[in-house]
A and B are shown apart, each in its own frame.
Chain A
Amino acid sequence: MSHRAVVLEVKNLKKHFPIKGGVFKTTQGHVKAVNGISFSIKENETFSIVGESGCGKSTAGRTILRLLEPTEGEVWFNGENLYDINKKEFRKRRKDFQLIFQDPYSSLNPRMNVKELLIEPLLTHQMCPKKEAVQRAGEMIEKVGLSKKQLEKYPHEFSGGQRQRISIARALIVHPKLVILDEAVSALDVSVQSQILNLLIDLQEEFNLTYIFISHDLNVVKHLSDRVGVMYLGQMMELAETDELYDYPLHPYTRALLSAIPSLSTTEKKERIILKGDVPDPSNPPSGCPFRLRCPHAHERCVKENPIFQEAKEGHWVACHLYDEQDETII
């Protein structure tokens, strides 16, 4: 995997939302939704970001695509920092990055039929004349497993799974390089989920796509991704190749998450780690390590210092004081 070229590099990305309050609507604090995450994604790879709801994973995805303006940080793509490009110019670049949303019921305009939905991205980027666009829409709709006859139908005439296929077709018709799937299958029931996931895998091969897969579903993530990043309270806690992360999780938070996956095995008894308390308020995070209030291994140092996100093993990054001195006897 290491020989693949890096497509996208995120450096110290931050997105803070101001909290306005009082009579004069002054800024009274910040919700630190994304608080300094860094990672890079290789060509044709599926990189997953997992975490509980509210950990900032969707915000991270949207900020990378500049649907939200970043507070700080850099996103390098093809040798240029995306945040340095002006807004007008960036709109033209959007054909390289597409986003697929969670809710197939609200992510398609109910007043546009499938044909209009599919040709809009092509016409927006002036990639071909309308006649050809319609033809390409017909080809694309068949690629995602629907038929050309359905081009004249409106979104409300389709089921959730079919709508998500339409969303996928709309995103892929412009041949993007990077696709961010923001909980793209979470709203679907399990049987449909696997169909859509297989479709995504097939299309990735066919179009040589790079995916950022944002999800809270650890089973789906394991099935789909090459590498996984675990987020907690706006920070990246651990990042490793999928098998490595699932087999040898380092961070106490990752361990707790993985122990929560239900197991069908009766012989192997897993230790279930139950976290105490709730996710802290992101506008008022704890001092030091964001996870320390719920961490079974928290010690004095965790209160004072926020651990640095560093490589503990080759390709396995973690932000935890337990791995600072290379002293693995503590665990």
Chain B
Amino acid sequence: MTEFIQKLREDKVGLIGLIGVLIVIVLALLAPLIAPYAPDEMHTEQVMHSPSSEFLFGTDEFGRDIFSRIVYGAQVSLQVGLIAVGIGATFGLIFGLLAGFYQGKLDSIIMRIMDIFFAFPDILLALTIIAVLGPSLTNTMVAIGIVFTPVFTRLIRSAVLTVKENEYILNAKAVGVSNIKIILKHITPNVMAPFIVQITLALSGAILTEAALSFLGLGVQPPNPSWGVMLNESRAYMEFAPWMTIFPVAAIIITIFCFNLLGDSLRDLLDPKLRQ
């Protein structure tokens, strides 16, 4: 672990990503302390006020402080990201381990179902699921979780197939270790590296998908502050109040960018082939 931190410290790009991700986390956790106003507090005399010392990023059409809404929006983004990826990663891990370890019929059934999910574009699949479940924050997370499950399943399955070829799996079998223990103690720890990398990359994907769904009006519902919702609301006023668009977009781009930087450098760090 210390070696790992040491390596990350040498990797400047990864460090930038890590710092960016940490900033987003801090913003989300300490939102009430950092944001000067409540996210739904309306300043009716200062509607669509341009950025100033009073309103750092300006105000929107209801006179709400955009900076405060972006800070609170980080909460929504992270919450959706973590829970949605949590759902996708958990199911993906379980299905992937089962498919890869037992192979045969179980593998065929699981992977053909995943192929069906893969056949739809992410956003379309998420839209369909939400259309069925109804638009809400919880359903957004569930939908994104389902969309991400096949990605994790396929990744874990292929990792399991590689790990299974190692003699220590046969060794464990020869010792008499049960299949479940082999999966938990011998296979799972050895597929963690690609799994963790995929989680970081999926987090950015989930945040982006949430923003897109919210923008389309199917994700987080107004007046809750979500970067996607803010973008949607700014559409009509883009020419008069560009700050309403620019800042949420910047928040999305920078967050995604940092998560991706972190994911890429984690991949390099955790890949044993690239280690030396």
Contacts and interface: CB of A to CB of B under 8 A. Distances in A.
Interface of A: 62, 65, 67, 91-95, 97-99, 101-103, 106-112, 120-121, 124-125, 167, 170-171, 174
16 contacts: A62-B170, A93-B176, A94-B174, A94-B176, A101-B170, A109-B168, A109-B172, A109-B185, A109-B189, A110-B168, A110-B190, A111-B190, A112-B189, A121-B175, A124-B177, A170-B171
B23 to A, nearest CB: 32
B167 A170 contact: no
Given A62-B170, A111-B189, 7 more contacts: A67-B173, A93-B176, A98-B174, A98-B175, A107-B166, A107-B167, A110-B168
B43 interface: no
A112 B186 CA distance: 8
A67 B170 contact: yes
B2 interface: no
Interface of B: 166-168, 170-178, 181, 185-186, 189-190
Given A109-B190, A111-B189, A111-B190, A101 B167 contact: yes
Q: Is the interface of B mostly helix, strand, loop or mixed?
A: helix
A92 B171 contact: no
Contacts of A62: 170
A23 to B, nearest CB: 16
A95 B167 contact: no
A92 B176 CA distance: 7
Contacts of B181: 124
A65 B174 CA distance: 7
Contacts of A98: 174-175
Contact of B171 (A91, A99, A124, A174): A99
B176 A91 contact: yes
Contacts of B170: 62, 67, 99, 101, 107
Contacts of A109: 168, 172, 185-186, 189-190
Nearest to B163: A109
A106 B176 contact: no
A167 B167 CA distance: 12
Contacts of A174: 175
B168 A107 contact: yes
Contacts of B168: 106-110
A23 B121 CA distance: 30
Max chain A Cβ within 10 angstroms of own Cβ: one of B172, B174, B177, B186: B174
A31 B185 CA distance: 33
Contacts of A121: 175-176
Contacts of B174: 65, 67, 94, 97-99
